[in-house]
Amino acid sequence: MSEGLVQRRNVSQASQGGGGGGGSSWSSGGGGGRGGDSDEDKGRSLGKRADSDKEGENDKEARLTLMEEVLLLGLKDREGYTSFWNDSISSGLRGAILIELALRGRVDLEPAGARRRMLTSRRVICLSSNLVGDVLLDEALKHIKDTQPPETTWNPLKLGYQLRNVRERLAKSLVEKSVCTTEKQSFVLFDMTTHPLVDGQVKQKIVRKVQDCVLSRWQNDPQRIDKRSMALLFVAHASDVLENAFAPLPDDDYELAMRRTRELLELDFDAESVKEGACPMLWAVAQAFAKR
């Protein structure tokens, strides 16, 4: 199951596409106080402005879905597109949709039952048809709700239920959230719409979240690891973009992060899914990717 983990590539700083510190930054200066304001008033005004900017950044990060976080990890910062050779990210994003719906309490797997059927043979059930407010998630939720009888987690034969233009729709959502912008880029034979990164801080927070999951916030018991962070780790690996998060790490931290990632990928997903407090959908999607 861990064959998909790639060996560290020696990537130069330039080839990172400007990721990292290339995002827009805010400044509490520029506009200073009026000439008649006291130093205390200026300090209070600037402090409020800085607090407001921080709240805006935190709110922007909180509004990102799991799918958008995975796409950001795969996007080249300056170029604004994912690798042409990455044929895994499409299925990874669809797995992220299922997990996101489960984490939001909209879907789940049917109970395991006394016979403890295999994780990926349990059907997906709709717990609530209340719309999420995200176009892709709501479209997927409608498919699941209207499917009778319910389907299992992963059925590639059901092509009629495939969501279309997932990457492009996610990229447009990132533009609407002021994380990316839209440009046209010419590739000699064709033109392509690209979405370069404009807020590098948001992406760096996502990178640190993946890193912290297996470093500073590591837990020996997988059930104690933050579910959203672990889901991001699993889906990033399945989408072949996990290397982008680990590449900036020092060698020792990189090796430790890879070793702990392998430990998670080699778990008994069926056993983990029935433990108290588990998210069965997360483990089912991980199992489906492991069987590819």
Between CA 56 and CA 58 the distance in angstroms is: 6
The answer to the question of residue 236 being in a domain is yes
CATH number at residue 251: 1.10.3630.10
What is the phi/psi pair of residue 164, to 5°?
-105, 150
Mean pLDDT of all residues in the chain? 80
The 10 Å CB-count burial string (b at 16+, else e) for 97-129 is bbbbbbbbebbbbeeeeeeeeebbebebebeee
183: phi then psi, degrees, rounded to nearest 5: -140, 165
Query: 76 in a domain, yes or no?
Result: yes
The pLDDT tens digits of the residues spanning 75-131 come to 998 888 888 788 889 889 999 999 999 999 999 998 887 566 788 888 899 999 999
In a domain, 25, yes or no: no
Report angle CA 247, 103, 236 to the nearest 5 degrees: 20
| Residue whose tokens read 């560290």 | 8
Structural domains counted in the chain? 1
pLDDT digits (tens, 9 = 90+) for 219-244: 999 999 999 999 999 999 999 999 99
d(C-alpha 13, C-alpha 79), whole Å:
15
Is 82 within the bounds of a domain? yes
**Residue 289 reports pLDDT greater than 50:** yes
> Does residue 258 form part of some domain?
yes
Burial environment of residue 71 by CB neighbours within 10 A (0 to 12, 13 to 18, 19 or more): buried
Rg (CA), the chain: 21
Quick check: is 199 in a domain? Answer: yes
